[in-house]
Amino acid sequence: MPLLTRLHAMPRWIIVVLPAALLLGGLLLRDSWAWLGGILLLLVWAFLAWLTALSWPALAPGSRFFRALIVVAFGAIVVLKFMGKF
């Protein structure tokens, strides 16, 4: 897993600040820039889904349900953003 090795070598604050900045930017972009906001949210969704997939074997069944629910709900927000309704 070379990507995990690269992420582990980065300063820890980047792993928190970068997704937070992408999320904030994705939620704030509206009107004619909604497509860019959708792309930013899609990047955050992909990161969230990837982390969920990595942790899936270690999760209890109840935790799996709620993590999957969060990934699906965030995916719905991304779709709504691309449609210009969020």
Ramachandran region, residue 31 (left: φ > 0; alpha: ψ -120 to 50; beta: rest): left
pTM above the 0.95 mark?
no
Q: How confident is the model at residue 80 (pLDDT cuts 50, 70, 90)?
A: very high
Question: Is 78 in contact with 42 (CB distance < 8 Å)?
Answer: yes
Question: What mean pLDDT comes out for the span 76-81?
Answer: 95
Residue type, 67: R
Spatial separation of the C-alpha atoms in residues 5 and 41, rounded to whole Å: 24
Spatial separation of the C-alpha atoms in residues 47 and 30, rounded to whole Å: 22
Question: What mean pLDDT comes out for the span 70-83?
Answer: 95
- Quick check: helix, strand or coil at residue 30? coil
Q: Read off the pLDDT of residues 17-73 as tens digits, 9 standing for 90 and up.
A: 999 999 999 999 998 899 999 999 999 999 999 999 999 999 999 999 999 999 999
What does each C-alpha distance from 82 to 5, 32, 43 come to in angstroms? Answer: 32, 11, 13
- Is 4 a residue whose pLDDT tops 90? no
Q: How confident is the model at residue 1 (pLDDT cuts 50, 70, 90)?
A: low
